Amino acid sequence: MPKRTPELRYDMVIFDVGGTLIGFHEPEPFKEFLAQAGLPATEEDTRRFHRRLISVIMAERDGAQGLGAYGQDLRAWWRGIFAQAWPDRPDLAEEMLVWLFAGRFDRRFSDAMPALEALHGLGLPLAVISNFDMHLRDLLRQLDLLHHFEFVIVSAEVGIAKPEPGIFELAVARAKRPRERLLYVGDHVGDDIEGARGAGLDAVLIDRANRQPEAFCPRIGSLLELADYVRAPTEPARAIILDMDGVVLDSMPTHLLTWQRTLAPLGVDLTADDLYPLEGVPTESTAKLLTGRLLGRPCSDEEAQRLADTKRTLFGQLFSPTFVPGILPLLYDLRGRGYRLGLVTGSARSVVDGSLAPTGVTELFDAIVTGDQVSRGKPDPEPYLTAADCLGFLPQECLAVENAPLGIQSAKAAGMACVALKTTLPGERLSAADRVFPDAVSLRTWLLS
């Protein structure tokens, strides 16, 4: 077994090739092709043809998923692509196929070589799994890439293509390392991410043009990010603990509606200004706070329980799980980078089970603390202290993400740094947080910078 570097999360990085290390991103080869074909080859002509070809490839890419076990299947797919590029010139479509298999269109992405060298500098061995024809090794040698890899597995050689688990199993056997210590890097969700995950490998999507911001997987915008990606996280914290309502789930409008219906028989005319600042408080406590503030006296424990039960029943009937925009990609990004994730909510476990668990997102969290699990809810520090303990970290090693004043107070009282999202309240109501972000997208940019 190779010696393991403690600060690294992986023992090997395995790459896809087309769209990941190399691609058709440079127009110069296409200018040469047009000129050789005796066609206009000005800069504008080249750009126009290049754009048209790339748009065809992107539109048809999913149709190539799983192709590659037999070389003729890939050739047929590329022949169809070039036929769309040259609908009136089948001779040029065939000539493009010749150029393709001679490697005349492919170029290294500018981040490929520096990223490979940086990973080598960390002592990480590298490898390739690619759905490609038999000429892949010659192409990698031609582009001065082949020598970087401990092994290269080509679908047309082994008779198995991604996303079939078998091709990844071949890599596990060749790597002689635990599969959970292997990271796969590719540009296609189906072939690369789902394929690798199906075989028990971690995977990250290279998305240079930010074309797949809602992909439910970790993403990087450049291969240069890999040198940090493979390390265990330390900044801005080792664990991220999120509130649920208003941070993960876009549920506060439904909470308002169901509280309005629950309290209407008591003569209460509830507004968002009444409810939203209390977000994160356990349901029974919320009933007491609202009746005390709006009726002049808090209800009894028995009445609070009755109101809470009514409210939960209505919520379960009316709420259709909807996520705060941008939060799901952030959760996958954090999880993929090795952060431990926690969820702290004032809602009961039954509400989490009914509204969040069916989406599958609860699997991303290493710890979930609900309102009925603690004796003192927000703004007491107990919920966040409990989450930190479940995650195995000190509070100062955790960062909380909140959207309401009482949640911020709870996290800060627990000794955690806390940032806030302006999903339900204006920034001035969240000023106790260390930083305030307008949305989850801007929070992602900060966290992953």
Quick one: 286 and 411 in the same domain? yes
Residue 130 is assigned to a structural domain of this protein: yes
Residue 370 has pLDDT above 70, yes or no: yes
Residue 50 is assigned to a structural domain of this protein: yes
pLDDT of residue 4: 55
Residues 354-373 as b or e (16 or more Cβ within 10 Å = b): bbbeeeebeebbbbbbbbeb
pLDDT of residue 1: 47
Q: CA angle, 242 as apex, 238 and 246 as ends, to 5°?
A: 155
Rounded-to-10 torsion of CA 92, 96, 97, 103: 160
Tens digits of residue pLDDT in 411-442: 999 999 999 999 999 999 999 999 999 999 99
Model's pTM, two decimal places?
0.89
Tens digits of residue pLDDT in 258-301: 999 999 999 999 999 999 999 888 999 999 999 999 999 999 99
Q: 277 near 404, Cβ under 8 Å?
A: yes
Domain boundary pick from 229, 260, 295: 229
Nearest to 438 by CA among 447, 425, 449: 425
Residue 90 has pLDDT above 50, yes or no: yes
Domain boundary pick from 101, 130, 147: 101
Residue 5 is assigned to a structural domain of this protein: no
Range(s) of the domain holding residue 398: 233-449
pLDDT band at residue 6 under the 50/70/90 scheme: low
Quick one: 224 and 245 in the same domain? no
pLDDT of residue 71: 86
* 7-18 average pLDDT score: 97
Quick one: 304 and 434 in the same domain? yes
pLDDT of residue 3: 53
Quick one: 166 and 91 in the same domain? no
Tens digits of residue pLDDT in 97-106: 999 999 999 9
Q: Is the dihedral of CA 183, 187, 189, 194 positive or negative?
A: negative
Computed over every residue of the chain, the mean pLDDT equals 95
Tens digits of residue pLDDT in 131-188: 999 999 999 999 999 999 999 999 999 999 999 999 999 999 999 999 999 999 999 9
Q: Is the dihedral of CA 303, 305, 306, 310 positive or negative?
A: positive
pLDDT of residue 235: 87
Residue 3 is assigned to a structural domain of this protein: no
Q: 302 near 309, Cβ under 8 Å?
A: no
Quick one: 221 and 358 in the same domain? no
Residue 2 is assigned to a structural domain of this protein: no
Tens digits of residue pLDDT in 198-240: 999 999 999 999 999 989 999 999 999 999 999 999 889 999 9
Phi and psi based region of residue 247 (left: phi greater than 0; alpha: psi -120 to 50; beta: remaining): alpha
- Per cent of the chain over pLDDT 90 is 95
Element (H, E) at 130: strand 126-130
- What DSSP character marks residue 429? G
Q: 193 near 199, Cβ under 8 Å?
A: no
Quick one: 309 and 440 in the same domain? yes
Please state the domain count of the chain: 3
Q: 281 near 441, Cβ under 8 Å?
A: no
Quick one: 312 and 423 in the same domain? yes
Quick one: 316 and 208 in the same domain? no
Quick one: 257 and 378 in the same domain? yes
